[in-house]
Chains A and B, each alone.
Chain A
């Protein structure tokens, strides 16, 4: 009986079935659930590393010791891990090493939409691309076989739709794991000084040549000859999108996107008349097919940007858009994601937004504070960038930047890549206030543990990093801790620290409201007393989901309570959503917000 599985669940299952018992990674949508699922299997060791570079290095170490290792990350994580990646291609892996690069066309949850197939080519590492959950499971096994056979790291690249779609998967009996670990010293292979690396460099090209031969008979590169008029060369889930609209065309479906099977491509080209290369993002396959002297249609009709769906492909090929119903143009208010009711980031960013400072930001839930009405964050480049940017900005602005540069970074992000730039800020005598928005978890990606939470991925208790001790050890003399639910304290401490010369660290300390570990029964929801509200809209400045504005124009005459001259409505709190964090109450100048409202309601 097949089971319904997401691509991520299937990847974890595939690794387990083929005897993998070691996993490392750093969370990142759409890859996160792979390691979380893998960690649940019997006899498995899996860990969250502080970042992707460390995760890959852990993986390389385990593989060199002889283990079969799964390393997971999102596409941009490979940028962080790129340094060990390129040289691990030289050393080879001894055991087996499969790296998941989960790409995110359309940037559903990312800061860019880079096409990581380029990394496969750049680092000279084979890459497989599954199209659905069954393939996700099967390809993981094949990837491990290839890694073992060719002594190379292997990439598997699901995209968001493969990772998070569910489809039917047939499970197999897990193979018993084999322990091949041992201490084996081999300096010529693992000490990449120039003399050794030069020799390994040649091995890499030999391996690529062997792989080029291997892919010609790799069964997951598949030719389907139907209608010989049109042939589609494609890979991954795009194959399914195309099949959906063009079931009768011929297909060359590539299971491996690097290296390409040139012989097979030539054969396909000889058997069909017109060829389309259908691929999301870069013309990765297309350029290589063109370089072979084969005429194809590709990016001149298919978009470079964002994910495809069956409609995108149909439109590009036929030039027609299916519009069965002629709908009017509607203005629909957008529904952007927002910080949750009671989110600890809200109070912090309310204060930061009013400082008239440049707030270099970072990645996490708190990035949402850039939006109206908070507008408390003014940049977001990549994980950890806030700290280095704050330093650079303070140095460039000199006197103009005094007391005007703040960097904000989440706890998980700080550990990921904020520590070294903070050290740099101290070392090079920068002048900025760095706020660590410590909500005690990696909230954005769904509450993963990290080195400061006191727990491991597999739920074991461990030592928790202390940010105040760490900041002091890095040489920061001014370290303060605030409660972001206390607006007055937050404002005062920020002002004091901005006035001081030199670096300061402020730790904004309050657990994520969704994090079960810290939940202590919900506080009473707050209400707004219409008999007191003067309609000043101060509370609306928080952008808290339960707080809404009610216009007098939309209310029955007898319910209108006018408490100020120009008042044209009053605020209102949705009781079902409010969790009683009290931040709005601190903003109300007339005391209209409380647990009870006056009796004359």
Chain B
């Protein structure tokens, strides 16, 4: 009953550039001649809440959202958010985790504990788990906001999209002013 559609779930916190990253990802799939759909929810979620974006691609994509247990790659922009969406992954799903921690209000107020060992826990259930210190990569690339391109770089290792296509799409997506840093962040992200 499965079809060949693949799914990537991007998850994180409002303001981390997730929607931008998923737009770029879609353009890259389009450039390789595939059908692509993405879905996210705007609105309330932007005010520091959870943000997710589903990106699905293949010869012919129906639903823009994936069902639980059917996601190929979870690209998590924030450590804790990884846990929230693990149940979306397939058994052989790949997890890419940004090591950044953003405390939710209950943790800030000391009413809840930010779970420890998230990477270890995730590795217990999924074979391929990669951790990226994206803020560090972005800073080294010269633009602290390039977290999203750094993570796209790490993600690109899991996808069959050529460097050529990535370069073209990144060039279309950023103004001259920030392009260099974003290309750099992408390339550094690829080293993970």
The residues of A with any CB-CB pair to B shorter than 8 Å are 2, 4, 29-30, 108-109, 132, 160-161, 164-168, 237, 240-241, 243-247, 309-312, 314, 321-325, 327, 330-340, 365, 368, 372-373, 444-446, 540, 543, 545, 547-549, 551, 569
Do residues A368 and B62 form an inter-chain contact, with CB atoms below 8 A? no
Tell me how far the C-beta of B71 lies from the nearest C-beta in chain A, rounded to whole angstroms.
10
Q: Is the CB of B41 within 8 A of A108?
A: yes
Please state if A244 and B47 are interface contacts (CB–CB under 8 Å): no
Say whether B161 faces chain A, with CB atoms less than 8 Å apart. Answer: no
Given A312-B67, A543-B109, 11 further pairs, Cβ under 8 A: A4-B23, A4-B26, A164-B40, A165-B37, A244-B63, A310-B63, A323-B87, A325-B125, A332-B115, A365-B47, A545-B105
Contacts of B48 in A (CB 8 A): 335, 337-338, 340, 545
Q: How far is the CA of A445 from the CA of B65 in the complex (A)?
A: 23
16 contacts between A and B (CB under 8 A): A4-B23, A29-B42, A109-B41, A167-B37, A167-B61, A309-B66, A324-B89, A325-B126, A330-B115, A333-B107, A333-B112, A333-B113, A335-B49, A335-B80, A337-B47, A540-B109
**Interface residues of A: mostly helix, strand, loop or mixed?**
loop
Q: In the bound complex, do residue B46 and residue A337 qualify as a contact, i.e. CB atoms below 8 Å apart?
A: yes
User: Is B36 among interface residues, defined by CB-CB distance under 8 A?
Assistant: yes
Contact residue among A311, A333, A365 (Cβ-Cβ distance under 8 Å from B104): A333
**Within the assembled complex, what's the spacing in Å between the Cα atoms of A100 and B38?**
22
Complex contacts, A132 vs chain B, CB 8 Å: 37, 64
Contacts of A167 in B (CB 8 A): 36-38, 61, 64
**CB-CB contacts of B91-125 with A at 8 A, as 1s and 0s?**
10100000000011111111011110000000001
Q: Specify the chain B residue showing the minimal Cβ separation from A161.
A: B39
Assembled-state Cα–Cα distance A332/B42 (Å): 22
A310 nearest in chain B by CB position:
B67
In-complex Cβ contact of B63 among A30, A166, A243, A340 (8 A) = A243
Within 8 Å CB of B107, what residues of A? 333, 548
CA distance A275 to B22 in the complex (A): 37
Contact A551 B39 (CB under 8 A): no
Inter-chain contact total with CB atoms closer than 8 Å: 178
The 4 closest A-B pairs by CB, nearest first: A311-B67, A109-B43, A337-B49, A337-B47
Q: A323's closest neighbor in chain B, by CB?
A: B69
Residue of A nearest to B38 (CB): A166
> Which residues from chain A contact B46 at a C-beta distance below 8 Å?
337
Flag if A109 contacts B109 (CB, 8 Å). no
The distance from the CB of B70 to the nearest CB of chain A, in whole angstroms, is 7
A interface footprint on B43-65 (CB within 8 Å = 1, 0 otherwise): 11111111000000000011111
Tell me if A108 and B125 are in contact (CB < 8 A): no
Residue B84 at the chain A interface, CB threshold 8 Å: yes
B133 located at the interface, meaning its Cβ lies under 8 Å from any Cβ of chain A in the complex:
no
- In the complex where A247-B3, A337-B46 touch, is A549 in contact with B110 (Cβ < 8 A)? yes
With most chain A CB atoms within 10 A of its CB, the pick from B27, B64, B87, B107 is: B64
In contact, A108 and B110 (Cβ under 8 angstroms): no
A543 to B26, CA, bound (A): 36
Nearest neighbor of A167 in chain B, beta-carbon distance: B37
Which residue of the partner chain, among A161, A245, A325, A543, contacts B105 with CB atoms under 8 Å?
A543
Residues 116-156 of B, flagged 1 when their CB comes within 8 A of A and 0 if not, give 00000000011000000000000000000000000000000
| CB <8 Å contact, B86 and A322 | no
CB distance A335 to B109 under 8 Å? Answer: no
Complex CA distance for A257 and B187, rounded to whole angstroms: 49
- Contact of A337 with B109 at beta-carbon distance under 8 Å, contacts A244-B3, A330-B115 already known: no
Report the minimal beta-carbon distance from B126 to chain A, rounded to whole angstroms: 7
A contact residues around B30 at 8 Å (CB):
2, 4, 168
**B44, A109: Cβ atoms closer than 8 Å:** yes
Report if B20 contacts A (CB, 8 A): no
Supposing A332-B84, A540-B109, A551-B110 touch, asked if A325 and B89 sit within 8 A by C-beta, the answer is yes
